[in-house]
Amino acid sequence: MNDSLLAGRYAKALLAHADSLGQAEALYPIMGELAHVAMDSAGVAQVLKNPIVGGEEKVRVVVGALCERVACEGESRMLVERFVGLVVGHHRERWLGQMALGYVRLYRKSRGIVRVNLTTTAEPEEALVERLRTMVEERTGGVAEINTHIQPSIEGGFVLQVDDLLLDASLRGQLEKIRKELLRKNKTLV
């Protein structure tokens, strides 16, 4: 079976179950962190890949690492524990991160959430962020989820990413365009 198809099926089933329990919203940030824990945390990834470590221990390590990073308690913690236990029990733990990412994507799609990443050289003013939120929500009809990033290396301007669309209005990006155009023209002269 295709890996992405497998992960998608688990994510879809988890979202449907969480919706039926009224826990989909509470699970959304937890699943985002689970994706990071399962894919980026070297210690957790090693435990998940280790065939000697038992299933219960894997669940304990993953849920423990996850709950250190994000608040998961009560019914949402129990739901996460059962989900991770189910995945580990079926020996599909290597796809856990993809399943969590799939949940996040499906949740965003079902709720009309539009991801917006704004990269600037300094912390943007709150009024600017709110104007951006309003503009994106009016044009997309969705709810804007804005993440701001500070990156001095862009040297001025901004980089705006709305879902899969990218607008690079940074000084560094503009200089790179000019450099490429000059190189292209120079090659045609030779």
Joined together, the tokens standing for residue 40 give 């980026």
Interatomic CA distance for residues 76 and 78, integer angstroms = 5
Average pLDDT across the chain, whole number: 88
Helix ranges restricted to H, 50-125: 55-69, 74-89, 96-111
Measured N-to-C along each axis, helices 96-111 and 3-21 cross at an angle, to the nearest 10 degrees, of 60
In the structure, what pLDDT confidence band is assigned to residue 13 with cuts at 50, 70 and 90? very high
DSSP state of 72: -
Q: Are 149 and 118 in contact (CB under 8 A)?
A: yes
Question: Looking at residue 126, what is its pLDDT?
Answer: 92
In the structure, what pLDDT confidence band is assigned to residue 1 with cuts at 50, 70 and 90? low
Q: Are 38 and 45 in contact (CB under 8 A)?
A: yes
pLDDT tens by residue, 103-162: 999 999 999 999 999 999 899 899 989 998 999 899 888 899 999 999 988 888 888 898
pLDDT tens by residue, 149-180: 999 888 888 888 988 888 888 888 888 888 88
Per-residue pLDDT, averaged over 49-69, amounts to 86
Percent of the chain at pLDDT > 70 equals 97
* Three-class SS state of 86: helix
Question: Looking at residue 2, what is its pLDDT?
Answer: 66
pTM of the model: 0.79
